[in-house]
Each structure stands twice: as structure tokens, then as C-alpha cells.
Structure 1
Amino acid sequence: MNVELRKTFQFEAAHSLPNLPENHKCHRLHGHSFKVDVVMTGECDERLGWLMDYAEIGEAFDPIRKRLDHHHLNEIEGLKNPTSENIARWIWNEL
């Protein structure tokens, strides 16, 4: 049976979107409370009765959260233009 395991994380960070026009509000430095859902899908282990140890998701994401939380995202390598889409792609690659 295919199952889905989801864990939601939150972090606070500042960013600006440098590719927008200078008069756009998001071009200026501002902050957000970001939420990230990490979703694992696959077959349950018949013997254990689970897809994976739920704690492993947190262990995998915690170093990423620490790099993002209360930081200026534009200063993180790979996030020069930290749109939501680019942040999601960056997190996916880091995981």
C-alpha cells in the first residue's frame, strides 16, 4: 500500500527580490514566516508497519532550517533571487 507521510516546518527569514522593478514592494528587504511541507511517499514496510521513522524527516530538515531561520536569504549561496519557487527548489536540492 502506498502511503504519504507529511511534516510541516516553519522558519523566519528576510529577503528581497532583486529582479523586480525598484518600485515594487518586494524589491525592498522584508521578512516572512515561511512554512515548508516535507512529504514522503512510498510503500509501508510490512514488518514495521510504517514508511519510515517520522523523526528522520526532522533530522534531515533541521540543518536546512538552521541555515534559513533568521537569516537574509539573498546571502545564502544559491538563493540570490529567493522567490518561493526558488526557495522550494533550493530546499529540494539540499534534502
Structure 2
Amino acid sequence: MYTITKEFHFSASHQLTDLPSDHQCARLHGHNYVVVVELKSETLNQFGFVRDYQELAALKSYIDDTLDHRHLNEVFKSDAVTAEFLAKSIFDWCKKRFPETAAVRISETPKTWAEYRPR
């Protein structure tokens, strides 16, 4: 199995309003997010790639145009825009365009990661 990954960055705010009011994440706050998309394939294309990294520019455009410097609760019309939620949302976006998508990992801080990887 061949695996490639590519990393993307964006900054955005969110608020987890379902949490108790004294929880720090219930307050409006922001993160410098890191997104890692992983693609896998048992075979390589005619150029020797799982997928050309340049094709992943579409994901960068989506992130820049839709998520970067936005309030994610408004973008997704949800009160629970967690890292886990973002990983699944971005995975779904990628899977529609890149069938080789195997997982998406999201970091909100240098020490925390959430991942969505279907069975």
C-alpha cells in the first residue's frame, strides 16, 4: 500500500456552546489549525503517484475560501464544531474529490490531534 500525506494550515474561531459555561471551550476562542490529509492506493498512476500533490491545491482553496479566518460555528451551522467534527467534514469533502482519501487529522494545538479514518 502506498501512502501520501499533505499538510495545510488555517486560523479560525469556534465556540462549544453545549459545554458548561465555566468550561474554557464554551467561550469564543480560536486556533491555528493544522490539517493533514492522507491518501492511500495499492497502485500508482501512470506518473508513479498515488495522486499528484498539485491536485490537492483544491483542498487548499477550499480551506482558504471557506474556513480560514472564519467563525466555524457559522460556517457549519453547528454548535459542536470540534476537531473531530472538522476531521470528518474535511474527510467527506476530500473523499468526494479524491477517492484515495484514507484519513484526515486535525490539530488545534501542538499537542492535540483528532483523526477521522473510516473502517
TM over 0.5: yes
Flag structure 1 segments of 5+ consecutive residues without an equivalent: none
Q: CA deviation at 1:78?
A: 4.7
Which of 79-88 and 12-21 deviates more?
79-88
CA contact (8 A) 2:10 2:63 kept: no
Counterpart Cα distance in 1 of 2:78 and 2:87: 10
CA contact (8 A) 1:13 1:34 kept: yes
Counterpart Cα distance in 2 of 1:90 and 1:78: 12
Structure showing greater Rg: 1
SS in 1 for 2:32: strand
CA contact (8 A) 1:79 1:86 kept: no
Aligned length: 93
Distance 1:69 1:32, change over 3 A: same
**Equivalent pairs: percent with the same residue?**
35
Structure 1, residues 61-84: CA drift from partner, whole Å, max 9, x if none? 422332110000010135431111
1:33 alignment partner in structure 2 = 32
Which of 29-38 and 55-64 deviates more?
55-64
Counterpart Cα distance in 2 of 1:35 and 1:68: 12
The two structures have a TM-score, normalised by structure 2, of: 0.71
CA contact (8 A) 2:15 2:79 kept: no
The structure 1 segments of at least 4 consecutive aligned residues displaced by more than 4 Å after TM superposition are none
1:44 alignment partner in structure 2 = 44
